[in-house]
């Protein structure tokens, strides 16, 4: 699909959401442990992460899951959660200074380590996905040559998810590729012959499959605004996402939808220079 046809695409999605309603399959499932004490820690983390999306929340979650890992070693699900929590912790930290960026590399390194341990126990789409996410984030502030060198590993792990469970986490690989396009220089895309259309197709598929998961719209809006400098498409996507009732559009994902809208308002202001809904 070409960029020039995006307004038609978004309009169609708006109608589809109103007609078909939300779809709930594909979300994260809470980890289960046979150890009761480990399960209590898992439950604590699960309940806390559903309150908001902040660095402190995810730092607390890493602490509890590391305790759970000691109580229930070799539980690959706990290791996947640890990889996910370390990435979320890092993604919510400041990244302006060299010191902060160096610290983030350490955080994402922990995420990769836990994902790798999970994959050594059992190969899963979740393990591959969180390895790819942590790997790509760890290279955000590296040289273009290091970013290009890391591409085969990221693609290999992301392709496993696409091939085995393309619906994982509401089409997560679509968000991964669109965000990579936002965060790396275009020259890296050219160096590794990245298929930009594939990134477009995957985020479009995620939105089509899960029209009530608002984070997909926020990711796509950032992608189009930053990579294509397409303000109109970004605004249309944000208008749709911000116009939804986060309490009802997808009842199983109220918190992530509210977070997506919060980030969407920030992007709206960046694009327009005004507070939503003013243009």
pLDDT digits (tens, 9 = 90+) for 167-188: 999 999 999 999 999 999 999 9
What pLDDT does residue 25 have? 64
The Cα 132–Cα 149 span in angstroms is: 14
- Tell which residue, 133, 244, 196, has the closest CA to residue 1: 196
Domain 30-141, CATH: 1.25.40
pLDDT digits (tens, 9 = 90+) for 200-236: 999 999 999 999 999 999 999 999 999 999 999 999 9
pLDDT digits (tens, 9 = 90+) for 24-37: 468 999 999 999 99
- In the chain, what are the domain boundaries? 30-141, 144-279
Q: Using an 8 Å Cβ cutoff, are 70 and 106 in contact?
A: no
The stretches in the chain having pLDDT less than 50 are: 1-24
Q: What is the dihedral of CA 141, 196, 124, 258, to 10 degrees?
A: 70
What pLDDT does residue 26 have? 86
Phi, psi of 185 (to 5 degrees): -60, 150
């Amino acid at each position: 699909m070409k960029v020039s046809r995006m307004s038609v695409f978004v309009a169609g999605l708006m109608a589809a959401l109103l007609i078909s309603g939300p779809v709930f399959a594909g979300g994260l499932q809470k980890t289960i442990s046979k150890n009761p004490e480990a399960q209590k820690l898992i439950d604590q983390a699960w309940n806390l992460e559903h309150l908001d999306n902040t660095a402190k929340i995810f730092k607390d979650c890493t602490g509890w899951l590391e305790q759970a890992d000691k109580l229930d070693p070799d539980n690959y699900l706990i290791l996947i959660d640890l990889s996910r929590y370390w990435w979320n912790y890092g993604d919510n930290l400041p990244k302006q200074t060299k010191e902060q960026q160096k610290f983030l590399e350490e955080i994402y390194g922990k995420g990769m380590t836990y994902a790798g341990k999970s994959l050594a126990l059992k190969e899963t789409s979740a393990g591959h996905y969180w390895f790819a996410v942590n790997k790509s984030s760890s290279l955000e502030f590296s040289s273009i040559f290091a970013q290009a060198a890391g591409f085969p590993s990221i693609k290999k792990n992301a392709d496993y998810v696409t091939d085995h469970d393309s619906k994982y986490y509401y089409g997560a690989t679509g968000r991964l590729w669109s965000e990579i396009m936002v965060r790396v220089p275009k020259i890296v895309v050219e160096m590794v012959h990245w298929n930009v259309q594939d990134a477009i197709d995957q985020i479009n598929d995620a939105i089509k499959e899960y029209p009530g998961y608002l984070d997909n719209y926020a990711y796509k809006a950032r992608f189009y605004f930053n990579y294509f400098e397409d303000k109109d498409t970004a605004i249309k996507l944000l208008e749709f996402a911000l116009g939804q009732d986060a309490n009802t559009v997808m009842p199983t994902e109220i918190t992530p939808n509210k977070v997506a809208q919060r980030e969407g308002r920030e992007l709206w202001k960046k694009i327009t220079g005004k507070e939503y809904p003013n243009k």
